[in-house]
Amino acid sequence: MSEQSSVNPIELLSRLNWTECAELEFKAAKGGLPKSLWETYSAMANTVGGVILLGVKDDGTIEGVPDVDRLKRDFWNTVNNRGKISRNLLTDADVSAVDDGGKTILAIRVPEATRYQRPVFIGQNPMGGAYRRNHEGDYICSDSEVSRMMADASEQPADSIILDQFGMEDIDAPSLMQYRQRFASHKPTHPWLSEDDKGLLTKLGGWRRDRTTQAEGLTVAGLLMFGREESIREAIPSYHVDYREKLSDDPAVRWSDRLTLDGTWAGNLYQFYLKTAQRLFSDLKLPFELDTDLFRKGETSVHEAIREALVNALIHADYRGQGGVIIEKYRDCFEFSNPGALLVGLDQLFQGNVSECRNKSLQTMFMMIGGAEKAGSGIDRIRKGWESQHWRYPMVRLHMAPDRVDWRLPMVSLIPEESLSHLQDLFGAKTVSALGKEEVLALVTADTEKSVDNLRMRQITGNHASDITQLLQGLVARNLLEQEGQGRWTKYRLPSSIHKDPSSAHKDPSSAHKESSSIHKESSSIHKESNFIHNEFLHSGISESDVALLEHIASKVRCSGRTSPGEMEKVIIELCMKRYLTRRQLSALLGRNAAGLLSRFLTPMVRHHVLQLKYPDTPNREDQAYTTAEAEKTD
Question: What phi and psi, each to the nearest 5 degrees, are found at residue 227?
Answer: -75, 170
Residues 90 and 76: beta-carbon distance below 8 Å? no
- Pick from 98, 110, 109: which is nearest to 5 by CA? 98
pLDDT in tens, 484-542: 876 666 889 998 754 344 333 344 444 434 444 433 443 444 444 555 566 677 667 78
* CATH number for the domain formed by residue range(s) 156-410: 3.30.565.60
The domains of the chain are located at 9-153, 156-410, 417-505, 523-634
The reply to whether the predicted model has a pTM over 0.75 is no
pLDDT, position 376:
55
User: Are 156-410 and 523-634 the same fold in CATH?
Assistant: no
* pLDDT given for residue 352 in this prediction: 65
Fold of 9-153: 3.30.950
Instruction: HSE, CB side, 13 Å, CA atoms: give it for residue 415.
Output: 12
| pLDDT score for 221 | 97
The string of DSSP codes covering 314-352 is HHH--TTSSS-EEEEEESSEEEEEEES--SS-HHHHHH-
- The pLDDT of residue 15 is 79
Class of domain 417-505: mainly alpha
Residue 300 in 3-state DSSP?
coil
Fold classification of 523-634 (topology level): Arc Repressor Mutant, subunit A (1.10.10)
Which pLDDT belongs to residue 279?
94
Q: What is the pLDDT of residues 73-86, one digit of tens each?
A: 999 999 999 999 99
Q: Is the peptide bond before 502 cis (omega within 30 degrees of 0)?
A: no
Closest among 342, 310, 339 to 327, alpha carbons compared: 310
Backbone angles phi, psi at 234, to 5 degrees: -65, -40
Output the CA torsion 433→438→440→445 (10° steps): 170
Helical ranges in 154-268 per DSSP H: 173-186, 197-204, 220-226, 229-235
> What residue ranges of the chain have pLDDT lower than 50?
1-2, 288-290, 292, 295-296, 498-528, 632-635
Determine the pLDDT at residue 4: 63
Q: Beta strand 482-484 with 325-330: parallel, antiparallel or unpaired?
A: unpaired
* Residue-wise pLDDT tens digits, 152-208: 998 889 999 999 999 999 999 999 999 999 999 999 999 999 999 999 999 999 999
